[in-house]
Amino acid sequence: MELLAPAKINLSLDIIGRRPDGYHTLDMVMQSVSLFDMVSLTRSESGGLQIICNENDVPCGEENTVFRAAKAFFQATGVPQKDGLLFSIEKKIPRQAGLGGGSADAAAALKLLNRLYRTNLTAEQLRKIAISAGADVPFCIEGGTAHVTGIGENIEQLPPMVDCHIVICRPDVGISTKAAYSAYDKKGNSEERHTPSVLEALKTNDLERLGKALGNAFEEAGVPPEITDIKRQMLRYGCEGTCMSGSGSAVFGLFCEYEKAETCCKSLRKKYSLVYSCHPVPQQEIIS
């Protein structure tokens, strides 16, 4: 069995507080995009839970989100793990990019386990299990366009984002989520909010308005110069708006015209190796 695991971008990301347990509370709009990992699940004679990946630098032990998701599944359902299980991950979504690759893989793993063991868990039940694997995993269960709050557990599905062309570029420098939050905390909370404007813009199906509303609190804490350079190039080639996704370091730009998006991609690839052309993926197109 196998599933496509789509990446996500943050149309907005506001950090609105911090809980006593140290977790930050967020107010975000997330969007699935057509950049995919592939996650497959097979029974294994070797026993236990194994993970393999086509990229050598991806950890395949207990620190992997797929491993954490699988353990949470068996604990929540009470299903005994008698069989050996092998998860195979074919990575296309770059790491340390803010694109939710690990979270997408974990969500796919939960859906595959739900299918394999015929537990018939609903999306809501899967989301409750998913939060223990990572903050973005609940969104990745269904994807699409959603307003996400809390630490990632509260999800309100929204009407699909207006179709467009999305250019994503991840510079050679990555940003760990832990480092991004540390930099933000040192700077202090920002009072600027981006999510309300993005929510209003989505109602209009106006890509220009949406592009102007994009915003990410992590950018306010300072970012590597490559991110500023990528954003400048995207604007030069006619995008309606550009923003860093998640905790970075990937940057995306929204384009009305395919030709402008492709020209931008070609220009960025002269300097950066990880450049992708994709489009929004509505919830109903995500394989369950």
Does 178 participate in catalysis according to the annotation?
A: no
Q: Give Cα 142 to chain centroid, integer Å.
A: 12
Beta bridge partners of 149: 27, 154
Phi and psi torsions of 145, nearest 5°: -120, 125
**127 Cβ contact partners less than 8 Å away, ≥ 6 residues apart:** 138, 141, 142, 153, 155
Q: Does the annotation count 163 as an active-site position? A: no
CA distance 136 to 154: 11
Which residues lie across from 13 on neighbouring strands? 28, 216
Active-site position among 8, 111, 231, 260:
8
Rounded to whole angstroms, how far apart are CA atoms 51 and 64? 8
Distance CA 159, CA 181 (A): 30
Structure tokens at 272: 């950066």
CA distance 238 to 260: 6
Active-site option among 14, 27, 37, 136: 136
Please identify every residue annotated as catalytic.
Answer: 8, 136
